[in-house]
Structure 1
Amino acid sequence: MEEMKRVFNKLDKNGDGMICRDELKLALSTLDSESSSDEIDKIMMEMDKDGNGYIDLDEFIAFDGIAGDENQMSSKELKDAFNLYDLDKNGLISASELHAVLKKLGEQFSLSHCQRMISKFDENGDGNVDFQEFKKMMMTNA
């Protein structure tokens, strides 16, 4: 829960307790995600349950919960999330890629911490997380 609050606060650039469309767009562009205006609108609609045009902390936390239900998180959404971390587009997420993305988000995890995170879900022992391993990781809400 504290981790979710910390991520939310990083996305809430103006500190008003809500994430607006522009803050969401900025967060996605920070991750080098080339989301279209329609995609950003769709994400906002999915997350903004009360329809006020903003994502509050409760909506943000509730949205994260969909990662635990494979039926609610589409294959495309999972693949898009995977692709954000697969910086070299080789179909694998390495500890250094995870570290680089988290650093872009302002997180202060060490490379060794990222290696431990990867190893937790690295079922085949290759030191990376492939899409199937990533999918299982997202389904466990780890």
Structure 2
Amino acid sequence: MSSVYSEEEKSYGLSRARLVEFKEAFDYFDEDYTSLLPVDRLQHHLKQMGYNATDMELDKFEVDVDPDDTGVYDFDAFMRMVAYILRTGEDIEEDLEQVFRLFDTDNSGTVSTEEMKKVFKEVDPKISKKELDELIAEADPDNSGKIDLAEFKHMMMMPEDD
């Protein structure tokens, strides 16, 4: 019987090395060697791989990996979920790069910390000077007065303090 998937589709858009990494993770999670993982352990498996899914994402993933509500999912369902997570992460990176380019009006590859302060004040007029200074200090750890793309991404992806 021939597969309905091409080799490209079965690679899930990943390099062979990455595919092997995720197969090893799947096998590690497969404690009873059935080639099936329990859906009720999905959140735990994601956390072990360093991904903290929101409740909404978790609900979506549970339905996606186990549409027939069998309570288990296979490697193909696991990889479709992983590929989705990786694509979403790439989309966020691309979005941040586009936003950064909007701020980098002179195409220098940097944005001044003064310009970033203005942007933050426009976005949140009630931001305190202390909060603003803390944000800028974290975004510009080398205190150069300029924020490059890597620093910008780091700043934008930092978890908020609760």
| More RCO (CA 8 Å, sep 6+) | 1
State the TM-score, normalizing by the size of structure 2: 0.35
Q: Which has the larger radius of gyration?
A: 2
State the TM-score, normalizing by the size of structure 1: 0.39
